[in-house]
Amino acid sequence: MIVTALPSLPIALDAMGGDQAPSEIVAGARQAAEELGVAVVLVGRPEEIGDTGGLEVWPASEVIGMADDPGQSVRRKKDSSLVRAAEAVRDRRACAMVSAGNTGATWGAALLRIGRIRGVSRPAIATPLPCPGSDTPTVLLDAGANVDCKAEWLLQFAQMGAVFSRERYGLPSPRVGLLSIGEEPGKGDSLRKDAYALLADGAWTETTGATFVGNVEGRDILSPEVDVVVTDGFTGNVALKSLEGAMRSLVDAVLATFGSTAETQAAAEVLMPALLPLYGQLDPNNTGGAMLLGVDGVCIISHGSSNATAVVNACRVAAEMASVDIVGSLATAVTPV
């Protein structure tokens, strides 16, 4: 699929970030340029990047590893690919940055180098969660950036998540839920009670076209009843990984039964074509990555084990979000607190 309105600036792609960097990142960049027609610049060590198939390289001598401390590494490794990619967005030399590297460091680099949208208290990571059997993913935010949150930040997450859901999935009136442990307004801890009071006052929805559907529970996240689920970064990350873990453990157990006898194996082969679309839907390489909402530029975070396909999808989302000027929409939608 060609991105319809191409951004005029290239995407700054962190060539060194991710478990399969740089080979799969470079392969994905070449594929994105070819298939989507977007301009991609690889940021990193030219000698490790190798043949770019003609894509430009912006040299950066340092690499922030997956295990590096996010805050320290961003401050110390000033010539890292991640920091340089963020600076390219800040300096308007790139329309967006994409990284499959250290999530915390990506957040840190974007926050420190690009900075926040005026009025945004805390940028948040918005992660699309594919819902088995449903077309539109649920957007969960914050998926891990801000562990100790204030209720006012959750209100901004709601506004930003609604804009993302609208711009990315074309939902004119996204249904936003507050993640809690019971549907009634009074349910949850003190943060949830305070956040509920703010969200129930519908004024915040006027800037976004969103609808507040009240509290939702963990079991509702993948349901077709909600489009955006708002929570603090600690709970969001636990929920996200619990969902992933449950799916993985169930898929593994089902596959084990498929392989248990020659008879089940034959039956499983008949089912495989029907199961493959579901398998593809749940493959994280196909979701297009998470987006850091609230920084003054487009920043897409692809998962750590991204392959070339994941990079193509992340670049596509980056180009789309840049071309619709999601940052401008976020700036308009968010109520300063």
Q: Is 35 in the site for its own copies (CB under 8 A)?
A: no
Scan residues 132-161 and list those touching its own copies (CB under 8 A): 132-133, 144, 147-148
CA distance 229 to 223: 11
Q: How far is the CB of 327 from its own copies (least distance, A)?
A: 27
Nearest approach in angstroms of CB 242 to its own copies is 4
Q: Which is nearer to its own copies, 31 or 136 (CB)?
A: 136
Name the strands in the sheet holding 124-129, side by side, starting at the edge strand that comes first in the sequence.
57-59, 40-44, 11-14, 96-99, 298-301, 290-293, 124-129, 138-141, 228-230, 175-179, 211-216
Nearer to its own copies, 59 or 218 (CB): 218
Among 251, 309, 325, 331, binds its own copies (CB under 8 A): 251
Question: Of residues 22, 108, 128, 188, which one binds its own copies by CB under 8 A?
Answer: 188
186-211: b (≥16 Cβ within 10 Å) or e: ebbeebbebbbebbeeeebbeebebb
Within 82-141, the residues that bind its own copies by CB under 8 A are 131-133
Full DSSP string of 287-334: S--EEEESBSSEEEE--TT--HHHHHHHHHHHHHHHHTTHHHHHHHHP
Only one residue has tokens 């297009």, namely: 288
Locate 59 and state its tokens: 């040299």
* Interaction of residue 219 with its own copies, rule CB under 8 A: yes
Instruction: Report, in Å, the least distance between residue 294 CB and its own copies.
Output: 19
User: What letter would DSSP give residue 62?
Assistant: B
Counting contacts by CB under 8 A, is residue 260 touching its own copies? yes
Stretch that binds its own copies, among 3-11, 79-87, 115-123, 178-186 (CB under 8 A): 178-186
Residue tagged 């590297």 (tokens): 101
* Residues near its own copies, by CB under 8 A: 131-133, 144, 147-148, 179-181, 188-190, 192, 217-223, 231-235, 237-254, 256-258, 260-261, 263-264, 266-268, 270-271, 274-275, 278, 282
